Chain A
Amino acid sequence: MTATNHQWRKAKNVLMQTIACVCAVLVILPLLLVFFHLVSQGASSINWAFFVELPKPVGELGGGMANAIAGTFLLITLASLVGVPVGVLGGVFLSEYSHHRLNWWIRFTADVINGVPSIIWGMVVYALIVVPMKGFSTLAGGVVLGLIMIPLIMRTTEEVLQLVPNGYREAALALGVSQWRMITQIVVRTAMKGIVTGVLLAVARIAGETAPLLFTAFGNAYWTRHLTEPIAALPLQIFNYAISPYDDWHRQAWAGALVLILLVSTINIGVRVLTRDRFSQRSA
């Protein structure tokens, strides 16, 4: 009786371990499939023209996404101008100046805002910038991505600042340094790598955002000359091409997606390699 019970328990143990292992494989599977198809479908359409030419009108083969690639970089720059200062300073405040109750609420609100669907931000910026300026614009696209970055950067900045040993702060204050200089020259400087990591991860996140750009940056088949004009972006172009009925555009969409995912994954993997020592410490 006890022997069979023991065997049953052992069998169940093996069974559950196998199930968990299979589940892990299933979770990884979509990633592998997506990468496989991106490479097999997209790689053949990537050539020099893809990076330097404008999109061709329907019916003409060839053309590229030069303006969309440049547009994505410009939008990221604008967004960082909005999101990085606010996010980093907010994170510094959260970590260094303690108002216990207030900080709890700020953290809570930032986490909740993080979960607001990005398309909602698009609507807000539409009402806030696009309508008063009477047109879709690069500016609106940059602002909406910047707003999305704020809570992300704020929370990561706070977390890395918390890792700075308190002894550093006390040592600086004991030397008679003012609190502000202590923060900028000791604390922030020590945690610089972590802050940059947080910013890069936020950039990787917004680089692929499409929904908020649909009615702010809007997309553009040509070069954008002014911040008040609509601008193309890689994710927008991928979306428009993907839902179009033309085979040549589908090919371009795959190529664009491959470029975009390489950009995003490079940032992600790069960041992880740079901060590896910190991660292994934590998991030890």
Chain B
Amino acid sequence: MAMALSVFVLIVLVGFELAHGSTLAMRTFGWRFLISSDWDPVNEKFGAVPFIFGTLVSSAIGLLIAVPLSIATAVYLTELAPLWLRQPLTIFIELLAAVPSVILGLWGIFVMVPWLRGHLFPVLQQGLGFIPLFQGPIFGPSVLAGGIIVAIMILPIITSVSREILRSVPGLQREAAFALGATRWEVTRIAVLSYARKGLFGAVILGLGRALGETMAVTMVIGNSPQMVKSLFAPGYTLASVVANEFSEATTDTYVSALFEIGLVLLGVTVLVNALAQLLLKTFAGPAGGSPR
């Protein structure tokens, strides 16, 4: 009993310690912390906006890339792929989920970023240069690189949760549509996807939660510079990576406390997003159903 209640202890503990750690910053900066974009540890000026901005942008890019890919893959795995191929593909996706973030970051630094800088970014700039997002000098480590790494990190989780959701769609739904003479794609669209809409949305939100908190891989490729530039080719910074980079080097109490407050912001956002995702998934599976992980 006590052991099961430990989860409540954990959540309270997390909230309390972070809030406790950030009291100094809260008292010093008040709400300005959340609207100021200065991050100048030397002069003890701290504002979280560049990090919130970077987190949102990289997560948005991640979702834009990952959502269509992973839902299409989940559809392929449950509806279209030949039966003998489904099991191996699923195992591959679970292996991708198991790749530690730091290894993906290592690969990102030495393989992906040079490739992006040399091949993909120039092409993007030529093709889409009229949009301000794709203008400006090309750095290797950039918000876009961070977004792509985030996409790779959240692909497996969205895919596997969506797969569980699609599998729980009753076979009768499909048979009814087939009986009306629908093609395989029409069955998928009409009978499966629209039926599972809510659950799939839950899967996407769950992916968003992971994207917001993704730390190591993003830290290694995003460039770590607290600025807000319109160009996706410019380096940025996220909430999680500023903590990872600066926490053990923070020298003054205010600095440490400001980082704690960053952690608190991150915690608040991820808890809200995850709670929303779980509610969506649980109501889809029915109150008694096991929640897909």
- A contact residues vs B (CB 8 Å cutoff): 9-10, 12-13, 16-17, 19-21, 23-24, 26-28, 30-31, 33-34, 37-38, 41, 85-87, 89-91, 93-94, 97, 103-104, 106-124, 126-128, 147, 150-151, 154-155, 159, 162, 204-205, 207-211, 214-215, 218, 235, 238-239, 242-243, 250, 253-254, 257, 260-261, 264-265, 268-269, 272, 279-280, 283
B-chain residues with CB within 8 Å of residue A123 when the two chains form the complex: 17-18, 21, 243, 247, 259-260, 263
Confirm or deny: B231 has a beta carbon within 8 angstroms of a beta carbon on chain A: no
Q: Is the CB of B7 within 8 A of A106?
A: yes
Can you name 26 A-B residue pairings with CB atoms under 8 Å?
Answer: A12-B183, A16-B188, A17-B184, A23-B76, A27-B93, A28-B92, A90-B3, A90-B7, A106-B4, A112-B11, A113-B10, A115-B210, A115-B271, A115-B273, A115-B277, A117-B215, A118-B213, A120-B14, A120-B266, A120-B267, A123-B243, A215-B247, A239-B216, A242-B109, A257-B106, A264-B98
- B contact residues vs A (CB 8 Å cutoff): 1, 3-8, 10-11, 13-14, 17-18, 20-21, 68-70, 72-73, 75-77, 80-81, 86-87, 89, 91-96, 98-107, 109-111, 152, 155-156, 159, 183-186, 188, 206, 209-210, 212-216, 220, 240, 243-244, 247-248, 259-260, 263, 266-267, 270-271, 273-275, 277-278, 282, 287, 290-291, 293
Q: Is the CB of B102 within 8 A of A235?
A: yes
Q: State in angstroms the CA–CA spacing of A24 and B81 once bound together.
A: 10
B-chain residues with CB within 8 Å of residue A150 when the two chains form the complex: 6-7, 10
- Return the chain B residue nearest A267 by Cβ: B98
Q: Is the CB of B17 within 8 A of A127?
A: yes
Q: Is the CB of A238 within 8 A of B103?
A: yes
Q: Which of A41, A242, A243 gathers the greatest number of chain B CB atoms within 10 Å?
A: A242
Q: Is the CB of B104 within 8 A of A109?
A: no
Q: Is the CB of B11 within 8 A of A113?
A: yes
Known contacts A124-B17, A215-B248; decide if A111 and B184 are in contact (CB<8 Å). Answer: no
**Which single member of A19, A41, A108, A205 contacts B282 (CB below 8 Å)?**
A108
Q: Which of B80, B102, B183, B206 gathers the greatest number of chain A CB atoms within 10 Å?
A: B102
Q: How far is the CB of B148 from chain A (nearest CB, A)?
A: 9
B-chain residues with CB within 8 Å of residue A253 when the two chains form the complex: 106
Main secondary structure of the interface of B (DSSP, over half): helix
A-chain residues with CB within 8 Å of residue B273 when the two chains form the complex: 115
B-chain residues with CB within 8 Å of residue A215 when the two chains form the complex: 247-248
Q: Is the CB of B99 within 8 A of A34?
A: yes
Q: How far is the CB of A276 from chain B (nearest CB, A)?
A: 9
Q: State in angstroms the CA–CA spacing of A90 and B9 once bound together.
A: 13
Q: Is the CB of B263 within 8 A of A37?
A: no
Q: Is the CB of A154 within 8 A of B4?
A: yes
Known contacts A257-B103, A283-B87; decide if A115 and B244 are in contact (CB<8 Å). Answer: no
B-chain residues with CB within 8 Å of residue A19 when the two chains form the complex: 72
Q: State in angstroms the CA–CA spacing of A24 and B96 once bound together.
A: 13
Q: State in angstroms the CA–CA spacing of A41 and B94 once bound together.
A: 24
Q: Is the CB of A116 within 8 A of B213?
A: yes
Q: Is the CB of B96 within 8 A of A16?
A: no
User: Nearest 3 CB-CB pairs, A to B?
Assistant: A208-B100, A117-B213, A115-B274
Known contacts A86-B6, A123-B17, A207-B100; decide if A33 and B111 are in contact (CB<8 Å). Answer: yes
B-chain residues with CB within 8 Å of residue A279 when the two chains form the complex: 87
Q: Is the CB of A13 within 8 A of B212?
A: no
Q: Is the CB of A20 within 8 A of B240?
A: no
Besides A28-B92, A112-B274, A115-B274, 8 other A-B contacts (C-beta < 8 A): A20-B73, A106-B4, A108-B275, A115-B213, A123-B260, A257-B106, A264-B98, A269-B91
Q: Is the CB of B263 within 8 A of A120?
A: yes
Q: State in angstroms the CA–CA spacing of A94 and B7 once bound together.
A: 12
B-chain residues with CB within 8 Å of residue A34 when the two chains form the complex: 99, 103-104, 107
**Which single member of A90, A104, A109, A117 contacts B270 (CB below 8 Å)?**
A117
Q: Is the CB of B110 within 8 A of A111?
A: no
Q: Is the CB of B290 within 8 A of A27?
A: no
A-chain residues with CB within 8 Å of residue B95 when the two chains form the complex: 31, 265, 268-269
A-chain residues with CB within 8 Å of residue B93 when the two chains form the complex: 27-28
